Structure 1
Amino acid sequence: MLKFVKGPLESIEGVEIYPIISLFIFFIFFTALFWWVITAKKEYIRKVSDIPLELEENTCIDNNLKESKS
């Protein structure tokens, strides 16, 4: 199967730069993401991590209010 991929790519001049660029973009992205995680403020992380719970609580409260009005 590799010959089906490798064969046409060998005929393209300068194709060897694309894997290098892809690796570079991958490395930069995950390095930046790691840096953001390390330097993120604890308050922000706590606030964002509570969002699903807040939405669920609000939904439960809204459903309980609707049921009590009925």
Structure 2
Amino acid sequence: MLKFVKNHMESISGIEIYPLISLLIFFIFFVVLFWWVATAKKEYIKTVSHLPLDNHKNQIEL
């Protein structure tokens, strides 16, 4: 089965670019994510980090 898949993949022209594109998308995503975290304002991080704990303030009492 693996031999069939390998032979089939080799018959597709230009397929060698797809792993490179995937790696590039992966790398760019994490670079942008790191940049966003590094430049985020400390007040925003503090506010967002307390959201799960502040749930009781947002509930409507019936």
Q: TM-score higher than 0.5 here?
A: yes
More helix as a share of residues: 1
Q: Runs of 5+ in structure 1 lacking a partner?
A: none
Q: Which structure would you say has the larger Rg?
A: 1
Runs of 4+ that moved beyond 6 A: none
| Greater relative CO (CA pairs within 8 A, separation 6+) | 2
Q: Runs of 5+ in structure 2 lacking a partner?
A: none
CA distance in 2, matches of 1:38, 1:51: 20
What TM-score, normalized by structure 2, do the two folds share?
0.82
Instruction: Give the alignment's Cα RMSD to 1 decimal.
Output: 2.0
Calculate percent identity across the aligned residue pairs. Answer: 64
What TM-score, normalized by structure 1, do the two folds share?
0.74
